[in-house]
Amino acid sequence: MLAARPRTDLGALTRLTELADYIVPFTIRVIAHLGVADQLADGPRPVTELAEATGAHAPSLLRALRALAGKGIFTEVEPEVFGLTKLAEPLRTDHPLSLRDAYPLMAADVRAWAGLGDCLRTGEAAFPRIHGADYWSYLAGHPADSLAVDRWMSSLTRLHLRTVLPAWPWAQARQLVDVGGGDGAFLAGLLRRCPHLHGTLLDLPHVVSAAPALLAEAGVADRCRIVAGSFFDPLPADADLYVLKTILPGWDDADATAILRRIAAAMGPQSRLLLLEAIIPTGDVFDVAKLVDLHTLVLTGGRHRTRDDLVDLLAGAGLRLDRIVATPTLTVIAAGPAGPQLTSP
């Protein structure tokens, strides 16, 4: 039997070309890094002025802004004069939920992404093969990249504080450990909103080194202990809450189970674990988790999980899924020790 001839749908070809683009993502990142949006806070300006203020080459900046304006990011209000749009506003540094640092253009990541084909063939991360070190060890030896990642996480954290905090009764806890809590941005925001809560921040030494200043600036340093260490080692015991925010997706099942076992061993009978992460929905629906999932494959060899995957993962560490609360960003997945029934929060 002859195979059916493929259909010619010009709309589909155009849409596919648009989706296959990597020029817009690169351009957004560089324009964010240059700080162009900050220069437009008081209204539209000619590209020559923007170039001078940001240290760019005017004719090339024009080409970049023109490309983005075609996507609704910036607008060319008259020839070679650009202004902000709704999509450009969050690129301002002074935006309350600024995403200026949320799109770092890191050469090391881009080189790893060029190895996606190998990831799909082998199921293994490209980053360690290309750079000779796993992602977190590489960052420990590359302070500029490490800082860019911390800032990227902090910009997402601002969004998470806005969306995730209303989803859980945090104020009912007394002691919380933010395991792999980065530079402390999430814990600082949480402690500011819950005056009776005390926190422990645990992350790798080069990451927590930024935390004292951040926690002091938030006025919560006296309620926060900082532990420079690894979540593969024994963890502070008997806290009411253990938080793993966007941690498990970075690890394969064996490592994720090892982290969960450390938490299970530290928990008391009434302790709870909160996983704050994106869950992969079933079916064809778009969800950003399905994209970030590929990023974790390329960089660390980890994976985002479905609800059922998480139930199994938790069970493998002696934990039981207790409650799931969806938010506009991350999902809150509460778990407790598998043994006795927990009292409700």
Which amino acid type is present at position 15?
Answer: R
Instruction: Single out the residue of 158, 334, 182, 317 nearest to residue 253, CA to CA.
Output: 317
Backbone angles phi, psi at 215, to 5 degrees: -70, -35
Residue 204 in the binding site for ligand SAM (CB under 6 A): yes
Q: Is 148 in the site for ligand SAM (CB under 6 A)?
A: no
Contact between 92 and ligand SAM per CB under 6 A: no
Q: Within positions 95 to 134, which residues make up the interface with ligand SAM, using CB under 6 A?
A: none
* Contact partners, residue 66, CB within 8 Å, separation at least 6: 76
Nearest distance, CB of residue 247 and ligand SAM, angstroms: 6
Provide the residue type at 19 as one letter: L
Q: Which stretch binds ligand SAM (CB under 6 A): 102-110, 174-182, 220-228, 301-309?
A: 174-182
Phi and psi torsions of 321, nearest 5°? -65, 135
Q: Is 158 in the site for ligand SAM (CB under 6 A)?
A: no
Least distance CB 146 / ligand SAM (angstroms): 8
Measured from the CB atom, the residue of 39 and 249 that comes closer to ligand SAM is: 249
List the one residue from 27, 39, 157, 200 that touches ligand SAM (CB under 6 A). 157
Q: Is 182 in the site for ligand SAM (CB under 6 A)?
A: yes
152 binds ligand SAM (CB under 6 A): no
250 is an interface residue for ligand SAM by CB under 6 A: yes
Is residue 186 part of the contact set for ligand SAM (CB under 6 A)? yes
187 and 215 in contact (C-beta within 8 Å)? yes
C-alpha neighbours within 13 Å on the C-beta side of residue 33: 13
Closest CA to 108 of 302, 300, 303, 304: 300
HSE (CB half, 13 Å, CA atoms) of 152?
15
Residues in the interface with ligand SAM (CB under 6 A) total 17
Quick one: which of 92, 100, 158, 245 contacts ligand SAM (CB under 6 A)? 245
Binding of ligand SAM by 224 (CB under 6 A): no
Contact between 31 and 64 (Cβ < 8 Å): yes
Given 68, 247, 279, 317, the residue binding ligand SAM (CB under 6 A):
247
Would you say 92 or 245 has its CB closer to ligand SAM? 245
199 or 250: CB nearest ligand SAM: 250
Q: Alpha-carbon distance 266 to 200, whole Å?
A: 13
Counting contacts by CB under 6 A, is residue 246 touching ligand SAM?
yes
Q: Where are the alpha helices (DSSP H) in the chain?
A: 10-19, 23-34, 47-54, 58-69, 107-113, 116-122, 127-131, 135-140, 143-164, 185-193, 205-208, 211-217, 253-266, 288-299, 307-315
Please report, as ranges, the residues that interact with ligand SAM according to CB under 6 A: 136, 153, 157, 180-182, 186, 203-204, 207, 230-232, 245-247, 250
